Amino acid sequence: MSPQRWRQIEELYHSAHESGEAALAGADPEIRGEVEKLLAQDSDTGDKLLDQRAADLIAGFPDAEVAPGTRLGPYKIEAPLGHGGMGQVFRATDTRLGRPVAIKISKERFMARFEHESRLIAAINHPHVCTLHDVGPNYLVMELVEGETLAARLKRGRLSIGQTIRFGSQTAEALWVAHAKGIVHRDLKPANIMLTKSGVKVLDFGIAKSAVDPDVNANIGMLGTPAYMAPEQLEGKEADARTDIYSLGLVLSEMLTGKRSDHPEDLPPALDRVIKRCLETDPDDRWQSARDLKWELESSAQAPAAVSSRFRNTLLAGALVLATLLLAALAFLHFAAEFPSQQVVRMNVLLPEKSRVLSLAVSPDGRAIAMVLVKGGKQQIWVRTLNALEPAPLVGTDDAADPFWSPDSRFIAFFADARLKKIDRWGGPVQTLCDALGVLGGTWNRQGDILIGGLTRVQRVPEAGGAVSDLPGHTAVTETYPFFLPDGRHYVATRDAYASPRQAGVWLSSMDSPEARRILPDVSNAEVVESPGGRMGAVLFTRAGTLMALPFDMKRLEAAGDAFPVAQGIAATNARWLATASQKGVLAYVSGQRGGWRYIWRDRRGSNLGAAGDAGADEANAGVNGVVMISPDGKQLADDRDGEIWLVELGSGVATRLTFGGGMNPVWSPDGRYVAYNKGRGIHRKLANGAGAEELLLRTNGLAFPKSWSPDGRFLIYAQVNPGIGADLLAIPVQADPHPLALAQTPANEDQGQFSPDGHWVAYTSNESGLSEIYVIPFPPTSSGGKWMVSRGGGVQPRWRRDGKELFYISPDSRMMAVDVSTLPTFHAGSPQPLFQTEIVDTGIRTGPMSWDIAPDGNRFLIISANSGDASSLNVVLNWRPGQQK
């Protein structure tokens, strides 16, 4: 019988199953006869309820009543996951064990035979079998499997031979384990095979309909889906292990073709033999065990591929048509004919479990995506080529931020440890190109120029590395996330919320002249995409969480229409929206992550003691510098947001604005009366109660940020920022002549200076060794010098315990480290010990703002943490072009 005939039988069967036998009236006699056989089989298993409505069959749990918060015994319903012929599927929590589960609520009460078999299935413990935890009167409690069904994957096209062998072998292994316990699946199909990051998970061993396959409506009594049934099933005979092997043969064929009931052509002979034997009509002629099938599949991957007869016959024809193809190509070039546009394809790429995306960039050739991920506290670049199953981390890219590609897609440039670096896309040694303190974003053109966005201006670096230089005639203005236009001379960059309303937005500038103009008012990182073979392109940016495209004329360098939406719900981290594209039509973005930062209290074991309010003013954190400064009495904290200083009551969470003309990087005086901060080109202080005017403490030529006030109130440490190079640590007398006193002033980057509680020592961060480490020096500096390295293997953001007996810092993998110290008669430090994983946010400059502080009791830590959960997947759109809306 043809596949089309089977589909007609299948559709009519489901209609009769839902509406009763009245649906058979007027049907083709042959088709009706086959459907009546299937319905009779249902009746033989005790299913007498075909004509009743589903809501009446859910014993005590109608659809309307199964809502979040509903309990089924110890299981608390959280959210719906899907529905199908069996009933509904929900995400739930086992309140006894605190684990997430999937609950399938049936439209029917289970029969005794089914419940007995379910108990056998629950005994299976295998990585490729979805675990059945529990069985209720009409519901199943299953392992919650994150991933994509094979059915959903096949809607995007067929799989490669390698993927087919891998997934097929894992499925055969799952069947083998079940068959060894006397359990036959009976309903193996793509909708019951889940693709996860760890491989295949086979669902529903003879249990139920998959909730994500709306095309088939099989039920418990039927024990199978007609399109994937073996001949003996269709004849009503008893199913055994060989029945599942037949179904797997059909699934293998569908993997290779992307279609049901189509046998693949031109397969390697070994693989072709394996599949054909699966599909033998007589069960005795098939593979007799799933274990044998698994071995044969894996062996077929090692067998040499013979040249098929069809290929040999094609060689001559190929030679004859070669001249025709050449002539066609010449005609194409002569008449400038355009190929028809390719179909847009959308897919989800799974990310490593419990990882968080900080930034991403698609390679210019569209073949790979570089992502900065935080996983297990470690922040590094991962690369996902589009023909790979999983992304892979790049060794040597710890603490990386804002990756961008070379124009030939060979190298990935990134920022780490206040330097610009690059690495081959496949890994290898990391090359340092230049110092890059406080840099956000970069771009690379075909002429060998790299532009980096900085605190004061966009600057140029040669692709081979070297000195950082200003662009001709460009004035000092903060521009971040530059991105080259295709001509390699013009670029777009972001001027942020610290600028005036007339300045904030996306600007178009030139490397060769100071001319610049605003093309968008939106404060967003932006990218430029060109249409192949045409002058029209688009500027991609994000507005209120929606990815937008502004049509752009690449010749006139101006907008060519109104911006239109491309994708909704774009996630953000720091001041960067997580969306990127390539000239080859590959668009990638992250959705579902909420922006915002929170202050989280943790104890010395890392236990979450609760939040102390929001640390961000908007979902993109565009106005947050990431500073935490607890007042000496422990009752308030000072932070900066939207370019102003705010004071937050830790008891109530009430925030009060302290400054109204700008302010960054607040520091408390030791008596809690004043807050010092940066404003423009100077350091100021103001009474913490808000009374009176601010007072200028030091006028500076460049950017300077206060870091720590001495316990006696006489000195203030600050970091003098040298744009693109690094920072130096200096101190000024607060009351006397503010003549700076150099503390650490070298070609390296020194920052985050913190006075010890007795005022005689300063802990700070320096990358003089090539890696940021924590050092301690005496204060005031002595002619004999003296310097001790406290951290081992990297460290940033040092803080002293209030009694001076312990130093804390953040390790490269974001752990809180503790070091026992003594300061009398001289300084001595013990071995660093890890306390807990901090989950501290990435502020973009790990050696800059102090993103955590310690309470006066020395046992509680207030840490800025991300307000969003981990993203499970990356959205990828293939063949996207400017002008195509979602």
> What does the alpha-carbon distance between residue 122 and residue 117 come to, in Å, rounded to a whole number?
9
> What does the alpha-carbon distance between residue 614 and residue 617 come to, in Å, rounded to a whole number?
8
What's the alpha-carbon Rg for the chain, to the nearest Å?
33
CB 529 within 8 A of CB 537: yes
> What does the alpha-carbon distance between residue 860 and residue 854 come to, in Å, rounded to a whole number?
6
The string of DSSP letters for 709-749 reads E-TTSSEEEEEEEETTTEEEEEEEESSS----EEEE-SSS-
CB contact set of 627 (below 8 Å; sequence gap of 6+): 638, 639, 640, 664, 665, 666, 849, 850, 851
Distances (CA, A) of 789 to 506, 542, 566, 765: 43, 44, 51, 10
Supply angle C-alpha 172, 178, 181, rounded to 5.
145
> What does the alpha-carbon distance between residue 506 and residue 510 come to, in Å, rounded to a whole number?
13
> What does the alpha-carbon distance between residue 347 and residue 159 come to, in Å, rounded to a whole number?
14
Q: Give me the catalytic one of 134, 187, 639, 728.
A: 187
SS3 64: helix
Short-list 462, 851, 886, CA closest to 640 = 851
Active site residue 562: no
CB 819 within 8 A of CB 832: yes
For residues 582-595, b (16+ Cβ closer than 10 Å) or e, as one string?
Answer: bbbbbbbbbbebeb
CB contact set of 383 (below 8 Å; sequence gap of 6+): 368, 369, 370, 371, 391, 392, 394, 412, 425
User: Which residue, chain included where needed, has tokens 């996207």?
Assistant: 880
Which H, E and C letters describe 112-158, residue by residue? HHHHHHHHHHCCCCCCCECCEEEECCCEEEEECCCCEEHHHHHCCCC
The string of DSSP letters for 309-353 reads HHHHHHHHHHHHHHHHHHHHHHHHHHHT--PPPPPPEEEEEEPPT
> What does the alpha-carbon distance between residue 18 and residue 830 come to, in Å, rounded to a whole number?
74
CB contact set of 151 (below 8 Å; sequence gap of 6+): 189, 190, 191, 193, 210, 212, 213
Q: What one-letter code names the amino acid at 639?
A: D
Q: How many CA atoms lie within 13 A of 561 on its CB side?
A: 16
SS3 796: strand
Short-list 647, 646, 628, CA closest to 636 = 647
CB 537 within 8 A of CB 528: yes
The string of DSSP letters for 225-257 reads -GGG--HHHHTTPPP-HHHHHHHHHHHHHHHHH
> What does the alpha-carbon distance between residue 252 and residue 17 come to, in Å, rounded to a whole number?
29
> Which DSSP category does 179 fall into?
H
Work out the number of other CB atoms within 10 angstroms of the CB of residue 407: 20
Short-list 288, 253, 291, CA closest to 174 = 291
> What does the alpha-carbon distance between residue 65 and residue 74 come to, in Å, rounded to a whole number?
17
CB 460 within 8 A of CB 437: no
> What does the alpha-carbon distance between residue 76 and residue 72 come to, in Å, rounded to a whole number?
7
For the annotated catalytic residues, the residue numbers are: 187
